[in-house]
Amino acid sequence: MAKIENPSCCDCATQNCKHKDRTYPTFCLTTNLSQADLTWSLEKYEEDRNHEVMVASAEVEYEGYCKWTRVEEIMQFARKINATRIGIANCIGLSSEARIFARILRANDFEPFAVSCKVAGKAKSSLGIPSECEKIGASMCNPILQARLLNEAKTELNVLIGLCVGHDSLFYKYSEAYVTTLITKDRITGNNPAAALYTAHSYYCKKFNLDKDL
């Protein structure tokens, strides 16, 4: 294996920043952290509703640890930040999942409002996307419009369901409400992208150009 030129947290085996009972590696971001960066991050938690969100997140993690599903965690988090109008930004291919989630939300006194990725029905080629991309579907995904319509609907928390890689990035950028993800799309693994990581040392090692001895 080639030498890693700029090691970071993924190259650390101690997790000392969590347990504080082992020696830090020389490249540790914690021990090499500038005071300015630390101060900046801590100050940001006092802006807008960031502190409220951090407290709510920690409470949900603690209270539901190994007990609540992701769906339950999202609802509990929403309650803690007093969010009742829940936006759903879903891939049209996961419309069934979005409908089920909306039913669950309504049954638990939330008000869901969903916008599908194909909203407006514009052809991909109309935006300059290569025409061959229309072979798997003519209409373009429109994550920026999804975000705008949810902004206009005054949603208080947006939940992402299966947007494509990159489309999700644009949605995160333009959403005015905080965003959490319920489903991450992976067409090969049945929307379980971690499965590719769990098999990277075996079935998928050649696919990822890796050695088996990870």
Q: Is residue 63 part of a domain?
A: yes
Average pLDDT (117-136) is 96
In terms of residue numbers, what domain contains 178? 35-183
Give domain status of residue 18, yes or no: no
Query: Is there a contact between 101 and 88 (Cβ–Cβ < 8 Å)?
Result: yes
Assigned domain for 13 exists: no
Beta carbons of 172 and 159 less than 8 angstroms apart = no
Q: 89 pairs with which residues across the strands? A: 115, 160
DSSP string, 62-126: HHTTTTS-HHHHHHHHHHHTT--EEEEEE-GGGHHHHHHHHHHHHHTT-EEEEEETTTT--BGGG
Secondary structure (DSSP) of 160-190: EESPPTTHHHHHHHH-SS-EEEEE---TTTT
CATH number assigned to the domain comprising residue 148: 3.40.50.11840
CA distances from 54 to 41, 46, 47, 63, 167 (A): 12, 10, 11, 14, 26
Residue 7 belongs to a domain: no
For the chain, give the number of residues: 214
User: What average pLDDT does this structure show over 166-180?
Assistant: 98
pLDDT, one tens digit per residue, over 64-107 is 999 999 999 999 999 999 999 999 999 999 999 999 999 999 99
DSSP annotation of 212: S
> Does 206 map to a domain?
no
The 10s digit of each residue's pLDDT in 23-56 is 888 999 988 999 999 999 999 999 999 999 999 9
In a domain, 2, yes or no: no
Percent of the chain at pLDDT exceeding 90: 85
Is 153 part of a structural domain of the chain? yes
Residue 23 tokens read as: 């020696």
Whether residue 157 is predicted with pLDDT greater than 60 in this model: the reply is yes
The structural domain count of the chain equals 1
Residue 193 lies in a domain: no
**Residues 173, 170: Cα–Cα separation, whole Å:** 5
